[in-house]
Amino acid sequence: MGDFDYGDFLTLTAEIERYLGYLKGNETVAKYFQDHTAHVETNLQSWGIDAAWSGTIDYRTPAADGLSVDFSMWHWVTYPYEPFDARRSAWADQLRAGASQSWENGNAWANDIGGYLRNLLADITRPDAGSLRESIQEFSEARIALEGAMPVDWTDLDFNSWIGQSSDECQDVVTELHSFIRDQYLTYFAHAETLFAGAGALIVQTQNGLNPMLREIRDDLRAQLEEWAATGREPQDYAGMNPLVPDIFNIGSQVVDLVPVVGDIKGKVEDVGGIVLDILDLFDAAPRFQPREAFDAKSAEQIYNELTTLLKDGYLTPFEEAMQRLQNERSRPIHAAQNGVHPWFLPTLDGVAKEPWQHEAER
């Protein structure tokens, strides 16, 4: 069964939102202190006090306990001298209040980013792999029932037991009906079954690559916050994000190759069960990933822009293109071929109650 975990997906998108908020909050506080440096120095000189602010922000974090470590907001500004006089204490309180508000403003920037990501990816995350598998298996069961509904000798009639026009007409109807069931209805049904299975496999394979990609992005954000906590400033040696990206193009090619083309399906009706099993095997296959050039976004806004671009252009668009390829190369030719079949239904047998012909023995 596919290993996509929707609960994990919700957790990852929530953590990405939270960490982007922390990152933006840190950046906003750093900018606040940078903007206030000249003003602080002027006040200190007017107060006759030596430089009291060390110029660093203490981004302290609780003790790490694996993945549950919480990269909280900055806690306080470090001052090297004690005690404060009244003027200095007032300035410190003002500085703390301004920094705290700056952090809150920055953190609020990330509000509902997780919700946006969940909405953006909803078409991929909503399908349930187990339900898809069951519906494909039910499709197969219906085809098997259709195959068994009309065996070759379904009438159990011996058309050689009598001769004449009635024998010929009856045999023509029986043969034609079997041909309709076999060459039109069953063939079309088998095409639909393999196409449905192929689309399901493409969805599940695309799903399976989503959480590993988001997990790497989440981990990279956390690594940046760890450096903020350790140094009190923006990471200086950031190498950029290089998340895993599902190789949806090759996944799509693999699925399309398994679905029979329109000219082959008649000879493969008996093999459709095996074809569908091969397609279902893709539900359990490990996702394929492709190398991707790292994006060197550093700020929270840059990372958010790169992340959404990656999800749209590097993930959702290739999936849509793979689905389009399945439609263009397999579905549309089938539809066109079936449109060329006339009639779709057997001609009515007019005058069945009063046949215009008689058995030779009746003449």
DSSP letter for each residue of 155-174 = T---GGGS-SHHHHHHHHHH
At a CB cut-off of 8 Å and minimum separation 6, what does 70 contact? 61, 62
- pLDDT category at 45 given cuts 50, 70, 90 is very low
The fold of 122-209+244-347 is: Ferritin (1.20.1260)
- Decide if pLDDT at 128 tops 60: yes
Using a 10 angstrom Cβ sphere, with 0-12 exposed, 13-18 middle and 19 or more buried, the burial of residue 149 is exposed
* In 109-209, alpha helices (H): 113-120, 122-125, 129-149, 165-179, 187-208
| 191-195 average pLDDT score | 88
3-state class (DSSP) for residue 246: strand
- 326 neighbors 261 (Cβ within 8 angstroms): no
End-to-end CA distance of the chain: 69
Structure tokens at 256: 């399309």
| 292-319 average pLDDT score | 87
- 281 neighbors 258 (Cβ within 8 angstroms): no
Using a 10 angstrom Cβ sphere, with 0-12 exposed, 13-18 middle and 19 or more buried, the burial of residue 46 is exposed
Q: What distance separates the 2 farthest-apart alpha carbons in the chain?
A: 134
- For residues 81 and 100, the model is more confident at 100
* In the chain, alpha helices (H): 6-47, 86-108, 113-120, 122-125, 129-149, 165-179, 187-208, 210-231, 248-258, 272-284, 300-309, 317-326, 332-339
**pLDDT > 70 in the chain, percent:** 72
Looking at residue 96, the DSSP 8-state letter turns out to be H
- For residues 250 and 169, the model is more confident at 250
Predicted TM-score of the model (pTM): 0.77
Q: Give 209-258 pLDDT, tens digit per residue.
A: 999 999 999 988 888 887 777 776 777 777 777 788 899 988 989 888 88
Q: What is the pLDDT of residue 134?
A: 94
Query: According to CATH, where is 1.20.1260 located in the chain?
Result: 122-209+244-347
